[in-house]
Structure 1
Amino acid sequence: MTRIAIGVGENENIIQACHIFKEKHPKNDIILMYNDVDLIKAVLDKNIDCVIRGSLPASNIMTKLKEKYPNLSRATYVNKEGYEFLLTPVGIDEGNTVEDRYKLAMQCCDFLKQVGKKPKIAILAEGREDDFGRGKEVSNSLKDSKKLTKIIQENTDEEVKNYHILIEKAINDECNVIIAPNGRVGNIIFRTLVLLNSWPSYGAITFGMDRVYIDTSRDQSIDGYVRSLILAELLAKD
C-alpha cells in the first residue's frame, strides 16, 4: 500500500479528486493535511511514501523544505496527447541566474533519462534574436540564453537549441525540456497552457531531495489533482 499525503486548502477540488482517485486505486492510503506545518512534517516522515502540496500556499512550505534541502527546485510535468515535457523554472523566485537554469536543465535531463526518455532541451529568452538592443532586460535575456545554450553544449552531450522567444517552435519540435528565461515567465507559461488552455499537467516534480514531493497549483482542476495523485503513486513505486 502506498501512503500519500495531500494538502487541503481553500480549493475543494482536492476532496473530489481524492474520491475519484481512491475509487480507481483503492489500495492506496490517502492522508489529508489541512495546514502547511503538518504537510512539511509529512514530507519528512519516512512512513509516508509521497506528498502532494494540493491547494496549500507554496511560499512557507518551500522555505521550510529548503532549510532541510537547500538545492530544492521544481519542474512542471505537462502531457498533451502523447507529447510530454518538463517546464522550468516555474516558481516566481526561481531560475534567476544562468547557473540556476543550467542546474534545472540537468536535473530535468537526469529525470527523463531515469524514466527511459532522451532529453531534448529548448532554451527560451524574452525576445527574438534580432530584438537585441530593444531594452536592457531583453538584451540581457538574449545574452543569457546564448550563454546557457553554450554551457550545455560544451559540458554535456544533450540535444539543445536556443529558441529565444519562439516557444511555439519549441513545442512544435516536441522538446521535452523547456527552460524559461526566469520563474516569472515560466509561471505565466504554465498558467497560460495549463490553467487557461487546459493542457494536462501532473504537477511539478521536485528535485534536490530524497523524498517524492509533487508541487501543485492552488487553482488546479479536479482532473489536475487526480493526475498529481497518479504521478505521486508512480514515482513512489520507482
Structure 2
Amino acid sequence: MKTIAIGVGDNENIIQACHIFKEKHPKTDIKLIYSDEDLVKAVLDDRVDAVIRGSLPASHIMQELKEYYPNLSRATYINGDDYEFLLSPVGIDEGTNVEERFEIAKNCIDFLKKVGKKPKIAILAEGREDDFGRGNEVSNSIKESEKLTKLIEENTSEEVENFFILIEKAINSKSNVIIAPNGRVGNIIFRTLVLLSSWPSYGAVTFGIDRVYIDTSRDQSIDGYVRSLILANQLSE
C-alpha cells in the first residue's frame, strides 16, 4: 500500500480533504502529521512515498529540509483557464538573484518534460521595458529579466519570452512556466490568483530533492488540498 504523509495545522480543511481523497483512493494510506519535526522525518523516511506540508507553517520545515537538501526550490502548479502552468519563485526568500531564478527555470523545464509537456517560459520584471530609469529597483529588475531571458535562450532549446511586468500577456500566451522577478512578487501573484481569485492549484512541486514533497498554503481550501493529494499520489508513481 502507498503511504502519503500530510501535515495538519490550524486549517482543518486538511482533515476533510483526506476523507474525500480516501473515498476515491482506498488503497493509499494517509498518515496525519502534527509537528514540523515529524513532517521532516516523514520526508526522510523511505517507507513514505510522498509528503505534503498541508497547513503546517513552511519556514521551519524548509529550513530543516535545506540541511539535507541545500538546493531546494518550489514552483506552484496552477490550473488556469483551460491550461496549466508552473509559477516560481513563490517562497519569499527564494529566487533572490538571476542565477537562482535560472536554476529554478531549468528545474521547471525538466519537470514539465518528465510529465510529457513542452515548456514555454515567460520571464517577468517589476516594470515595462520603457520603465527603465524609473528608480533603481525597477531598472535593476528590468536588467535582470533581460539577463535571465538571454541565459535561458543560450543554454536551453526552449521557447522563452520576456513579458516584463505584463503578466496578463504571459498568461494569455499560454506560457506554462512563469518566472517572477523574486519570491515576494511570486507569492503575491500566487495569493492573487489562487487564494483570492480561486484559480485551482495543486500545491508547489519541490525541486532539488529526491523525494516527492508538495508544499501547500496554510490557507488553502478543501478542494485545494484534495488536488495536492492527487498530485502527490500521481508523482509517487
Structure 2: distance between partners of 1:97 and 1:74: 15
Counterpart for residue 24 of structure 2: 24
Aligned partner letter, 2:16: Q
Counterpart for residue 8 of structure 2: 8
Partner-residue secondary structure (3-state), 2:122: strand
Counterpart for residue 224 of structure 1: 224
Does 2:186 align with 1:195?
A: no
Number of residues of Structure 1 aligned to a counterpart in Structure 2:
237
Counterpart for residue 205 of structure 1: 205
Structure 2: unaligned runs, 5 residues or longer: none
1:133 offset after TM fit, Å?
0.6
Partner-residue secondary structure (3-state), 2:96: coil
| TM-score (norm. length: structure 2) | 0.99
**What aligned pairs does 1:61-100 form with structure 2 within 5 A after superposition?**
61-100=61-100
What RMSD in Å do the two structures reach over aligned CA positions?
A: 0.6
- Kindly report structure 1 stretches of 4+ aligned residues shifted beyond 2 Å: none
**What aligned pairs does 1:144-159 form with structure 2 within 5 A after superposition?**
144-159=144-159
Structure 1: unaligned runs, 5 residues or longer: none
1:81 offset after TM fit, Å?
4.2
Partner-residue secondary structure (3-state), 1:102: helix
Aligned partner letter, 1:45: D
Structure 2: distance between partners of 1:29 and 1:141: 45
Partner-residue secondary structure (3-state), 2:236: helix
1:82 offset after TM fit, Å?
3.1
Aligned partner letter, 1:216: T
Structure 2: distance between partners of 1:82 and 1:232: 21
Does 2:58 align with 1:58?
A: yes
Counterpart for residue 160 of structure 1: 160
Counterpart for residue 49 of structure 2: 49
1:96 offset after TM fit, Å?
0.4
Structure 1: distance between partners of 2:55 and 2:64: 17
- Give identity over the alignment, percent: 78
Aligned partner letter, 2:32: L
Q: Deviations over 1:9-42 (max 9, x none)?
A: 0001000000000011111100000010000000
Partner-residue secondary structure (3-state), 1:71: coil
Counterpart for residue 123 of structure 1: 123
Counterpart for residue 40 of structure 1: 40
Structure 2: distance between partners of 1:109 and 1:46: 27
1:154 offset after TM fit, Å?
1.0
**What aligned pairs does 1:168-179 form with structure 2 within 5 A after superposition?**
168-179=168-179
Counterpart for residue 183 of structure 2: 183
Counterpart for residue 106 of structure 2: 106
